[in-house]
Amino acid sequence: MQTPDSKKKKKTSYAALLLLAALILFIVGGYPLAKQLALDTFGVKTTGRVIALTGSKNKAPIVQFTTADGREVEFKSGLATNLVSFAKGEKVEIQYLTAAPAIAEVTLLGRLDYFSSIGATCLGIFFLMGGLVALRSKPLVLDFGRKKP
C-alpha cells in the first residue's frame, strides 16, 4: 500500500518530467519559430550566395551576403534538409535582421520549418499544462454540464 507521502513524490516526479519535456520542446520549437517570425516581420530581404554545404545526409548551406551598409556577412543555416538541395555558388533569397546581420536564414528553409516549429511549441504547451495540473494540490474538475445562471 502506498503512503500519501509516496504518492505525492510520484506525482511530483511526473510533473517534473512533464515540465522538463515542455522546456525541451520550447527550446526545440520555440526558438526557431521566434527567429523566423522576427525575420518575417523585421527582416530585410536580399540575395546571398551558397559558399559551402555542411552535413552528410541533410545538407545545411553556409551563405555569404552583403548587408545594406556594405558589410560582408557569412552564416550557417540552422535548418538542414534533404528535401531542398543547394549547390555551391547558387544564389538564394535570404532574410536578415539589420540590428544583428548574423541572425539570418534562407527564406525557403525558414518557411518550410514553420509547421514543425509550431507543432513542437504546441506540444510543449500541452506538456506544460499537464505538469502544472499535476503540481496542483487539489484535483482539477471540468464540469461542462453546469449551466450559467
Q: Is the dihedral of CA 67, 97, 39, 86 positive or negative?
A: positive
**76-126 per-position pLDDT tens digit:** 987 777 777 888 999 999 999 999 998 999 887 777 777 878 888 888 888
Q: What is the mean pLDDT of residues 26-54?
A: 87
**4-32 per-position pLDDT tens digit:** 677 677 778 888 888 888 888 878 778 88
Q: Assign 136 to helix, strand or coil.
A: coil
- Total domains in the chain come to 1
Domain of 41, in residue numbers: 15-135
56 or 51, higher pLDDT: 51
Residue 149, domain member (yes or no): no
Residue 141, domain member (yes or no): no
Q: For residue 94, how many C-alpha atoms fall within 13 Å in the half-sphere facing its CB? A: 31
Query: pLDDT grade, residue 146 (50/70/90)?
Result: low
Residues 6+ apart with CB under 8 A from 77: 60, 61, 62, 63, 105, 106, 109
Residue 9, domain member (yes or no): no
